[in-house]
Amino acid sequence: MQYSPPPPPPPHQTLTQLGFRAALLRATLNRAARTRDLSSLLRPSTSTSAAAAASPRRLLDAAWADCRQLYGSTVRLLTQSAAPTAGSQSRLSAAAASLRACRRGFAELGLSAAWPASPFSGTNLSESVSNLLAVNAALAPPVDSGGFLSRRLLQQHFSAAATDADVVVAKDGSGDYRTISEAIAAAAAAAAARRKRFVIYVKEGVYDENVRVTYDVPNLVMIGDGVDRTVVTGSRSVGDGSTTYSSATFSVAGDGFIVRGITFENTAGPQMYQAVAACVESDLAVFYQCSFRGYQDTLYVFSRRQFYRECDIYGTIDFVFGDAAAILQSCNLYIRRPLDGQMNSVTAQGRSDPNENTGIIVHGSVVAAAADLRAVSGAFKSYLGRPWGSYSRTVFMKTLMDGSIDPAGWLPWSGSFGLNTLYYGEYLNSGAGADTSRRVRWPGYHVMSTVEALQFAVRTFLAGGAWIVAAGVPVTLGL
């Protein structure tokens, strides 16, 4: 894509905070764009020499392709961050997450030796984005809504999905398309000409396809016939040579995405390591009455602002993870049986900078053992979360926790990593697993007061929540 960096300040302008921010953004954007362009010109084997020769070409190509895409996202996010707003803080946080995902992809596929010679290393981009986060945090207002498309309430789309949809997907050929990917391609073709939401009705059926909604398909609505009736399924995994990022059965980057009544699953199984059912990097995304099924790394709340209402999420290790600002409200989080010798962790939040406005908030929900774990009660330990980033932030509020949750509540990632800088909070939870008297004693763990908990309510944490209300789904804005 063509990018248009913000214009340079006039020659006479002093390095005020705004001037410094503009100069830093311009330099960071230029480096990101050069790296993206260079990675498109080079082949992995021509830039990583001996390290590449020692690595399976298929794996190196997979990691390289991820990084190319993630650097493209970084350029786009930086380009959109010219003004110091809360929305820019979200975009800069997402840029930081994209850069980390690039490097992690090399590590996940055993390619760490090839990383130093790749064009993605040595750019100091992560440090520059961290500096931008700090400067923007000092200048930005605490909340902005980010803007959303005016539209009819979603209930109207739901009640007349078959007749009101722009396109219909049906396995049996009774719709406009047989696959979801074809319907999304139609939405992409129409995107430039439309000023309203594009509605895709996906009829009951099992759709075995890996689907991606790219950033140039915004304001998409997908409506299914209900959980376990409309199912999107896949089986990619780190175990078979995908990165975590590219293993997703369903991924969405187009902003303003709304979906109801669909199951997203990854059937790779616990023996195949990370295997994502859905990866979400859409801003102002709403998932309503959906289901996510997998084992390790089921739901990747990758970045941006997201809201989940009345959804079911199944998994084992880190099965809600990522670095979005995500609230799961009135959801069921079901812990499945892992492999022998493993432990379960419901969340793994990846915030790695103190100025990122991200976190995973579970509010008014249920955390409980799934049927397969209940059948072997006491054989496996399960925890609320562990820190994937040094400033990991996860909060459980007014949530029912059954006895599958270990009394310690939380699990370290590795040694003391993040224990002094993370923020883990609990507020008025209930059930056999909610007793805080035997919880970890880390500096970053908090039994929260009402004032502290209010910071993580929808109204405060998710840009005021007006975009959720406009989507027409139920929402509790406060506690």
Q: 478: buried, middle or exposed (CB in 10 Å: 19+, 13-18, 0-12)? A: exposed
Residue 288, H or E segment = strand 285-288
Report d(CA 265, CA 210) in Å as an integer. Answer: 10
Residue 138, H or E segment = helix 125-139
Strand-pair partners of 291 = 263, 312
The 3-class SS string of 350-417 reads CCCCCCCCCEEEEECCEEEECHHHHCCCCCCCEEEECCCCCCCEEEEECCEECCCECCCCECCCCCCC
Report d(CA 91, CA 460) in Å as an integer. Answer: 18
Residue 329, φ and ψ in degrees, nearest 5: -120, 130
Q: Which of 166, 255, 318, 353 is catalytic?
A: 318
Task: Clarify whether 172 is annotated catalytic.
Answer: no
Report d(CA 185, CA 180) in Å as an integer. Answer: 9
What are the structure tokens assigned to 355, written together? 């100025």
The answer for residues whose C-beta is within 8 angstroms of residue 449's C-beta and 6 or more apart is: none
* Residue 104, number of CB atoms within 10 A of its CB: 17
Q: How far is CA 290 from CA 97, 331, 336, in A?
A: 25, 10, 18
User: Do 287 and 455 meet the contact criterion of CB atoms below 8 Å apart?
Assistant: no
Q: Given the structure tokens 């040694």, which residue do they identify?
A: 415
Q: Kindly write down the DSSP assignment for every residue of 297-350, as one continuous string.
A: T-EEE-SSEEEEES-EEEESEEEEEESSEEEEES-EEEEPP--TT--EEEEEE-
Residue 39, φ and ψ in degrees, nearest 5: -65, -25
User: Do 205 and 75 meet the contact criterion of CB atoms below 8 Å apart?
Assistant: no
Residue 327, φ and ψ in degrees, nearest 5: -120, 125
Which residues participate in catalysis according to the annotation?
318
